[in-house]
Chain A
Amino acid sequence: MIERVLVPIDGSEMADKALEYALEVYGDAEITVLFVAGEPSPMMWKALSVAMDEGIGEAAQDHAEEIFKDAREMAAEYDVEIDTAVEMGSPAKQIVEHAEDFDAVVIGSHGGDLQSRLFVGNVAERVFKRSPVPVTVVR
């Protein structure tokens, strides 16, 4: 029985598709969306903008809130309440660490362009390889 589902999101179209799929298939389960703030970027501006804030946790939360808002709206269409979680740093690593507390992970196949591929890497692939729980990759 799948009771807890983790859906990592980054505001991209593929992440939206993953969340949609999770809401459709695991609508009865406890769905948590995870956003990883301050991901590696060409000159690490994103990470620094989180790190330099007075309360780093709050800064990460601020970055995440916009994306969570969209996710909550999407969940409301399915009459599902979702939980949210924020992490910071390397997306693949944080998602895998988080996955331990869940029964399944639903993730979009890729979020970004060549630039994020180069600097962040293929997150879905790494989560797929290293996750301790079953992973559904939504294409």
Chain B
Amino acid sequence: MVSVLLLVGILAAVFVGFNVGGSTTGPAFGPAVGADAISKTGAAALMTLFFFVGAWTIGRNVVETLGGDLVTDATVFTPEASIGVLFFIGLGLLVGNLFGVPASTSMTAVGSIAGLALAGDALAWSVMGEIATWWIVSPFIGFWMSLIIGRYFYARLNRMVAMERSEGPLVELDRSGAVPKPVPNGSTSRRELLGVITVVAIGCLMAFSSGTSNIANAIAPLVGSDQLEMNPAILIGGAAVGIGTFTIARRTLETMGNDLTELPLTAAIVVATVSATLVIFLSAIGIPASFVVIATMCIIGLGWGRATRPVTVPEAVRGEEEPPVSVDALAEDEPGEELPPIGEEDPEHVPSAADLFDPATTARVVLMQNLVPLISTIGAYLAFRFVPIFGL
């Protein structure tokens, strides 16, 4: 009986890992694939490798938090409850992907386990408080760091990154020696090669950071209930992520790659580096981090920093060659009269970048990102409290 439950538990963990692999490869390697730096298969292979390395080295800290420290009494992780928790994590992922609402898997996982612990009266409030505090503080750290970069260093970074792709493959294999070695294609400039290496390296960093924080979401309930040892669990979780990267990630890479090309490469690099570094730091101290929220706050910080830099009016207004005519002036014209072409902008309505990131907008977006984790917390609590099949 227990072995059947274990099998179902592993299947649920594999399902979560599979989805993590599918949804993380896009943000991590979208820019690299979009810039034709690597193939989709290459992206999948690097994603799998670096996810595993991150999970094996730092990720186990988070597994210990989620599968142990967060509950005062590990017996709440009955085999049935572990499957239930994984079910809620998987459901959260599915809903998020289905409706295009990005939701942090880690927040969903913490929420589901907290729901279970609450129902079993075994929630370690001090640990929960510590996690929640970091969830509030870390996005602000990301916001502030990106803001500083956006305001003072972005222009310089942008010049460094400026990457123009030449025709033809990036590298050729030099087969003249005993061992074929890759050499830069004749049309590949040094600077271009450096740019390509940068986007691929940042993809690897993101994959690594995802491994450190996301492995726990797939395996923590099974490790917490002592159904699996840590190391075999990490191997299984890593393999499941690998399956996801080589299958469904191909599609997310296509859409993400296209979405991300709208974003200047330098901006994508800044956001990825700052948020991945923060996530790795949090994982190292055993805190499950919410990549989605951190990355969003980095984006807003970067945009804000950029928006607050001095902008001259001619820079902001297009069509300055035409005399700007205010809409009020038009009112004095007789109806039906042939109107002169007006400047595209009413001077009183010069678009300001601050409008892009006003507090109300920001609050709404971050609130929506917390919707899925919140629903799974409540759902998990209600299910574990009132449905008597989990052996609590």
| Complex: A61 Cα to B317 Cα, angstroms | 9
B-side contacts of A29, CB under 8 Å: 335
Q: For the complex, is A98 an interface residue (Cβ under 8 Å from B)?
A: yes
Q: For the complex, is A122 an interface residue (Cβ under 8 Å from B)?
A: no
Query: B342 touching A56 by the CB < 8 A rule?
Result: no
A-side contacts of B99, CB under 8 Å: 114-115, 118
Among B271, B299, B351, B364, contact of A57 (Cβ-Cβ < 8 Å): B351
The proximity string for B residues 312-328 relative to A, scoring 1 for CB distances below 8 Å and 0 otherwise, is: 00011110000000011
| Complex: A61 Cα to B271 Cα, angstroms | 25
Q: Give the A-B pair count, Cβ closer than 8 A.
A: 152
Query: B357 touching A44 by the CB < 8 A rule?
Result: yes
Among B330, B331, B339, B353, contact of A56 (Cβ-Cβ < 8 Å): B353
The proximity string for B residues 116-145 relative to A, scoring 1 for CB distances below 8 Å and 0 otherwise, is: 000000000000000000000000000000
Given contacts A57-B318, A118-B101, A44 and B296 within 8 Å (CB-CB) = yes
B221: min CB distance to chain A, Å: 28
| Complex: A125 Cα to B266 Cα, angstroms | 37
Query: B350 touching A43 by the CB < 8 A rule?
Result: no
Query: B335 touching A51 by the CB < 8 A rule?
Result: no
Query: A40 touching B364 by the CB < 8 A rule?
Result: yes
Q: For the complex, is B79 an interface residue (Cβ under 8 Å from A)?
A: no
A-side contacts of B371, CB under 8 Å: 118
Query: A101 touching B306 by the CB < 8 A rule?
Result: no
Query: B306 touching A85 by the CB < 8 A rule?
Result: no
Given contacts A3-B331, A3-B335, A45 and B262 within 8 Å (CB-CB) = yes
Among B260, B315, B335, B368, contact of A118 (Cβ-Cβ < 8 Å): B368
Query: B356 touching A58 by the CB < 8 A rule?
Result: no
B301: min CB distance to chain A, Å: 10
Q: For the complex, is A24 an interface residue (Cβ under 8 Å from B)?
A: no
Among A89, A101, A115, contact of B327 (Cβ-Cβ < 8 Å): A101
Query: A115 touching B100 by the CB < 8 A rule?
Result: yes
B-side contacts of A101, CB under 8 Å: 327-328, 346
Among B264, B296, B331, contact of A4 (Cβ-Cβ < 8 Å): B331
Q: For the complex, is A22 an interface residue (Cβ under 8 Å from B)?
A: no
Given contacts A85-B349, A90-B358, A118-B368, A45 and B307 within 8 Å (CB-CB) = no
Q: How many residues of B contact A (CB 8 A)?
A: 55
| Complex: A118 Cα to B357 Cα, angstroms | 17
Query: B346 touching A42 by the CB < 8 A rule?
Result: no
Q: For the complex, is A46 an interface residue (Cβ under 8 Å from B)?
A: yes
Query: B267 touching A52 by the CB < 8 A rule?
Result: yes
Query: A119 touching B364 by the CB < 8 A rule?
Result: yes
Query: A84 touching B318 by the CB < 8 A rule?
Result: no
A-side contacts of B315, CB under 8 Å: 54-57
Choose among A44, A81, A98 the residue with the greatest number of B CB atoms under 10 Å from its CB: A44
Q: For the complex, is A38 an interface residue (Cβ under 8 Å from B)?
A: yes
Given contacts A57-B317, A88-B352, A115-B101, A52 and B264 within 8 Å (CB-CB) = yes
Among B263, B331, B355, contact of A88 (Cβ-Cβ < 8 Å): B355
Query: B101 touching A30 by the CB < 8 A rule?
Result: no
Among A45, A54, A55, A83, contact of B318 (Cβ-Cβ < 8 Å): A55
Among A1, A37, A47, A97, contact of B357 (Cβ-Cβ < 8 Å): A47
B324: min CB distance to chain A, Å: 12
Q: For the complex, is A70 an interface residue (Cβ under 8 Å from B)?
A: no
Among A44, A90, A114, contact of B299 (Cβ-Cβ < 8 Å): A44
Q: For the complex, is A79 an interface residue (Cβ under 8 Å from B)?
A: no
| Complex: A3 Cα to B328 Cα, angstroms | 12
Query: A60 touching B351 by the CB < 8 A rule?
Result: yes
Given contacts A57-B345, A85-B349, A38 and B263 within 8 Å (CB-CB) = no
Query: A38 touching B318 by the CB < 8 A rule?
Result: no
In the complex, which residues 361-390 of chain B have their Cβ closer than 8 Å to any Cβ of chain A? Answer: 361-362, 364-365, 368-369, 371
Query: A45 touching B299 by the CB < 8 A rule?
Result: yes
Q: For the complex, is B68 an interface residue (Cβ under 8 Å from A)?
A: no
3 closest A-B pairs (Cβ-Cβ)? Answer: A89-B355, A51-B303, A115-B100
11 residue pairs bridging A and B, Cβ less than 8 Å apart:
A44-B299, A47-B299, A47-B303, A49-B263, A55-B318, A81-B339, A88-B353, A93-B360, A97-B349, A101-B328, A114-B100
